[in-house]
């Protein structure tokens, strides 16, 4: 249990709480329906995407900047973080989402609070359709996260945080017309608790988790396989080995970029 005794571990857990809190606050705040009619999809999509990029850039060097239980689950499936850390990350993300949604709920007029429940199935969209959409939205997000933060990749250009933010944006641009574009169980769970609306809520857990697992397996075993022995994967899952020192320098002398995986 070296992680439990490490201050860097607890700072990482708090960073996930902090990041998810602000992600939910800004994202759901932008999605409130202050006027009648449909959502301004572009407005909401860019707020969620820019919030994700900003917060990942801010806390990525501390915790990896997951701010999403589905992303954490993907790294667990890929044997890139310990089960112990994953459980604490997910708990912190859910609590952070609750905190962000609660603050937003408190500063929102009474007549607007019901619109906090962004994730609802649109008329004519069945639960099967909705779950499939959520699978695909989260699948593309996880593949993007894994790809842009892969330390084996040569010649990386641009910002990994911004690329992930764009991935969140395109997910909302497409998915809002179907399901409200969940992709993140924490940000779907928090407003559902506050407005006490859990109709078809399971879709926003099952879809993203399946999509996250598929994305991790697709990238790590097909697109760009990680050749690691089973014993090494199990050691990572059990957290029996501390990670390499953060002070080690990249021998190529390249700038250190954001890695959205366990530190």
* pLDDT one-digit tens code per residue, 167-214: 999 999 999 999 999 999 999 999 999 988 899 999 999 999 999 999
Residues of the chain with pLDDT under 50: 243-263
Percentage of residues of the chain with pLDDT beyond 90: 68
Rounded distance between C-alpha atoms, residue 143 and residue 216, angstroms: 7
Domains of the chain plus CATH, in order, are: 8-238 (1.20.1080.10)
Q: What pLDDT, on a 0 to 100 scale, did the predictor assign at position 207?
A: 97
Rounded distance between C-alpha atoms, residue 67 and residue 112, angstroms: 26
Q: What pLDDT, on a 0 to 100 scale, did the predictor assign at position 247?
A: 37
Rounded to two decimals, the pTM is 0.88
Q: What pLDDT, on a 0 to 100 scale, did the predictor assign at position 239?
A: 83
Of 168, 136, 137, 159, residue with least CA distance to 45:
168
């Amino acid at each position: 249990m070296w992680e439990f005794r490490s201050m860097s571990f607890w700072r990482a857990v708090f960073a996930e709480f902090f990041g998810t809190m602000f992600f939910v606050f800004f994202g759901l705040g932008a999605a409130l329906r202050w006027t009648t009619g449909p959502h301004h999809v572009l407005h909401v999509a860019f707020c969620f995407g820019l919030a994700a990029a900003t917060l990942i850039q801010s806390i990525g060097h501390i915790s990896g900047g997951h701010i999403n239980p589905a992303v954490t689950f993907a790294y667990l499936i890929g044997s890139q973080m310990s089960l112990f850390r994953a459980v604490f990350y997910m708990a912190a993300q859910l609590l952070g989402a609750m905190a962000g949604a609660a603050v937003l709920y408190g500063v929102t007029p009474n007549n607007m609070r019901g619109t906090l429940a962004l994730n609802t199935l649109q008329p004519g969209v069945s639960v099967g359709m909705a779950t499939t959409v959520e699978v695909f939205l989260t699948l593309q997000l996880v593949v993007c996260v894994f790809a842009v933060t892969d330390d084996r990749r040569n010649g990386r250009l641009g910002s990994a945080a911004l690329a992930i933010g764009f991935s969140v944006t395109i997910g909302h641009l497409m998915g809002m017309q179907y399901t409200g574009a969940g992709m993140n169980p924490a940000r779907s769970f928090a407003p559902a608790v506050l407005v006490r609306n859990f109709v078809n809520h399971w879709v926003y857990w099952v879809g993203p988790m399946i999509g996250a697992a598929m994305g991790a397996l697709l990238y790590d075993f097909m697109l760009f396989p990680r050749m690691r022995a089973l014993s090494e994967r199990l050691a990572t899952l059990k957290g029996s080995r501390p990670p390499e020192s953060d002070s080690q320098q990249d021998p190529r002398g390249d700038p250190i970029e954001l890695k959205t995986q366990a530190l």
